[in-house]
Amino acid sequence: MSTERTRHLSTAEERRETVLRTAIGAFAARGYWGTTTTEVAKAAGISQAYVYRLFPSKESLFVAVVEHCFVQVRGSLERGAAEATGSSPEAVLRSMGDAYARLIVDNDLMLIQLHAQAAAVSEPAVREAVQKGYARVVEYVRGASGGSEDEIQQFFAMGMLCHLIASIGADEVDAPWSRTLAAGVRHY
């Protein structure tokens, strides 16, 4: 008795998602300049030529990764806004900040944001993706929270401080400078 095995072939979109997820880890670990499409292809279990069929260049792959991360950030902020215990700007911003802090426990997402900001300095397509991502997120936070310009700016400044604390491990150092930076900052 023979059993016929059916093989499920991935669609281009499924492969694209696989490559994107794989690329997040690779770019998070080594940044835009330190990651090759060969590494991404190998980790995804496909050929480099197929990576280029899905993404015409390393730059377009990285931009897709950056855009994907901004979608994740927006989703966490939406969840935070929905979970807010009050409707004041302070309550909504606090809840969104808490949701974001839980999101970046996945260090890869935070590292992608840091690498994207660094690459944005010299890579126009990356800069444009980061600008568009922040534009959408800032406008969402403004609309969802009803916060003032100062409150919105403080919200994003605190997020950047979270990135700094996490990326350099400041919350693991017992010193006056690290306690100053980490005071009042939530991490999970």
Q: How confident is the model at residue 149 (pLDDT cuts 50, 70, 90)?
A: very high
Backbone torsion region of residue 136, taken as left when φ is above 0, otherwise alpha when ψ lies between -120 and 50, otherwise beta = alpha
pLDDT for the residue 11: 81
pLDDT for the residue 4: 52
Q: What is the pLDDT of residues 30-68, one digit of tens each?
A: 999 999 999 999 999 899 999 999 999 999 999 999 999
Q: What is the pLDDT of residues 91-141, one digit of tens each?
A: 999 999 999 999 988 789 999 999 999 999 999 999 999 999 999 999 999
Q: Is the Cβ–Cβ distance between 79 and 99 less than 8 Å?
A: yes
Q: What's the first-to-final CA gap in the chain, in angstroms?
A: 55
Q: Is the pLDDT of residue 26 over 80?
A: yes
Place of tokens 């499924």: 14
Q: What is the pLDDT of residues 157-175, one digit of tens each?
A: 999 999 899 889 898 999 9
Q: Is the pLDDT of residue 186 over 90?
A: no
CA distances from 177 to 158, 182, 183 (A): 17, 9, 10
pLDDT for the residue 15: 85
User: In 10 A of CB 172, how many CB atoms?
Assistant: 10
Residue 92 is which amino acid?
A: V
Please indicate whether residue 31 or residue 184 has the higher confidence score (pLDDT): 31
Q: For residues 74 and 35, give the distance between their C-alpha atoms in angstroms, rounded to a whole number.
A: 26
Q: Which residues have C-beta within 8 Å of that of residue 178, sequence separation ≥ 6?
A: 170, 171
